[in-house]
A and B are shown apart, each in its own frame.
Chain A
C-alpha cells in the first residue's frame, strides 16, 4: 500500500520512512501540508501519517483540506503529535484525522495502528459495493453515462458549500459530507423495479406511466429499508434510504411520493434534488437534448423556494464554477460541456 509521510524535520522524517519501509509500505514523503496536499491530488495515496506542527500548513489544516478534496477513495490520516493533551486529540479528530499517535512513535504501537488503518480502509469495499449496486440499477438506462459520478460530486460540493454557512456548520460534519458522497448514487436505485417500456420510453410518459415511474422512490427506499432492518446501525443505509425516498420531493410540497414541504424534507433529499436536476438538465437523454449551463442555472434559480430549498440554490450559485469543473471532468464523451453548448447557441 502507498503511504505518504509528512514532516518538516528531516530526522523525524527519516526515522518514520525507515519504519514504514520496514513494514512494507510504498513510501512517499512531503515536508509540509501544502506539499502533502499536492501529493494526495497527484497520486493515489490511501494512508497519510503527518506531523502536526509544520510551516506553511500544519497537520490539522492539512486534514481539513484532504476532507474537502475531490479525491478517489478514502484517505486515512494519522497525525503525529508531541503534545498528548485530550484537547489536542479533539482538535485533530474534528479536523478529520482518523487517529493520533504520540511522538516519538513506538514501533509496536505504530504497527498495530497501521493494521487498524488497513482494516478501516478495507471497509471501503462497502462503498465499492454500494456504487456497483447503483451502477447496476443505472445500467438499464445506458444513456445516463457518468450521471451517478456527477451527481455524487455535485451533491458533495453543495454539502460542503452549505457547511460554510453558520446555520449548517454544526449539522454538516465531515462524516455527513462523506456519506452524502457515498450514498447519493443510490437515489434512483428503485428504477430497477420500473418496466423497460416506461424507463426506456423515448417520448413523454402518459399519466399512468408517470404514476408507475414515480414509484421508483418508494421502491428504492423499501429496498434500503429492508437492509436497514437487518443492519440498524448502518448510518449510510439510512441516508441512502432518505435520499432515494425524498429526492423528488419539492420544497413547496408539490413533489412525490409524500408531498413533504420545506424542512420536513431531509436535507440530503433537498441537496440531491438540485444535484440530480442540474445533471439531468445539462445531459443528453433519449427524450431530450442537453441544455447549456446558463439556461440550467436560470431554471434552478427560478425554482428556488418552489422545487428547491433556497439555501441549497444559494449554495449552487456560490459554487457554480466548481459545478462546471466537475462537469468538464466527468462529461460523457458524447456530451458537450454546458459552457461550450452556450457559446454554440450564441453563434447559431
Chain B
C-alpha cells in the first residue's frame, strides 16, 4: 500500500475491486476512468429526477448508483444511494431531497480517489504482479 493511501481514508476498496475485475488491472483502470466520467453525471440526473418528481427514474438512478458503489466496495456511497432508492420504492422520493448533497459528497470523494487508486498500478512490474 502506498504512502498516499496510508494518509487517505479510502472511499472504496481497491483490492476488492481488483478481485471483482478478476485481477485484470487494465480493465480496472478502464472501469475507474469510466466511473470518473460518469459518477457525477448520474448524481445530476438523480437530482433532476427528484426535482421533477419522477419517482421511477429517480429510483432507477439511485439503484444504478448503488450498484456501482457495490462493485467499487464504496460502503458510504452504497448506503446513501440505497436509502434514496428505498425512499423511491416507498413513493416518498421527495424525502430524499436532503440526501442528495451527502450522495454528491460521497461520489465526489470516490471520483477524487480514482487517480490515487490508479496510481498504485502505474508501475508496469506491479501491474503484472497484481494482474496474476
Query: Which residues does A use to contact B, with CB under 8 Å?
Result: 9, 11-12, 14-15, 18-19, 22-23, 53, 55, 82, 103-107
Which of B21, B24, B64 is within 8 Å of A9, CB to CB? B64
Which positions in B face A, CB cutoff 8 Å? 19-24, 27, 31, 34-35, 38, 60, 63-64, 66-68, 70-71, 73
Q: Is the CB of A11 within 8 A of B24?
A: no
Q: How far is the CA of A105 from the CA of B16 in the complex (A)?
A: 11
Closest 7 CB pairs of A and B: A22-B22, A104-B70, A104-B71, A9-B64, A11-B68, A18-B27, A12-B67
30 residue pairs A–B, Cβ–Cβ below 8 Å: A9-B64, A9-B67, A9-B68, A11-B31, A11-B35, A11-B38, A11-B68, A11-B71, A14-B34, A15-B31, A15-B71, A18-B21, A18-B22, A18-B24, A18-B27, A19-B20, A22-B22, A22-B23, A22-B24, A23-B22, A53-B63, A55-B60, A82-B66, A82-B67, A103-B70, A104-B20, A104-B67, A104-B73, A107-B19, A107-B20
Instruction: Flag if B67 contacts A14 (CB, 8 Å).
Output: no
**Complex: how many Å from CA A107 to CA B16?**
10
Complex contacts, A9 vs chain B, CB 8 Å: 64, 67-68
Find chain B residues with CB under 8 A from A12 CB. Answer: 67-68, 71
Neighbouring B residues of A18 by C-beta, 8 Å: 21-22, 24, 27
Complex interface: chain B residues within 8 A of A11 (CB) = 31, 34-35, 38, 64, 67-68, 71
Cα A103 to Cα B19 in complex, Å, equals 14
Other 10 A-B pairs with CB < 8 A, given A9-B67, A23-B22: A11-B35, A11-B64, A15-B21, A18-B24, A22-B23, A53-B63, A82-B70, A104-B20, A107-B19, A107-B22
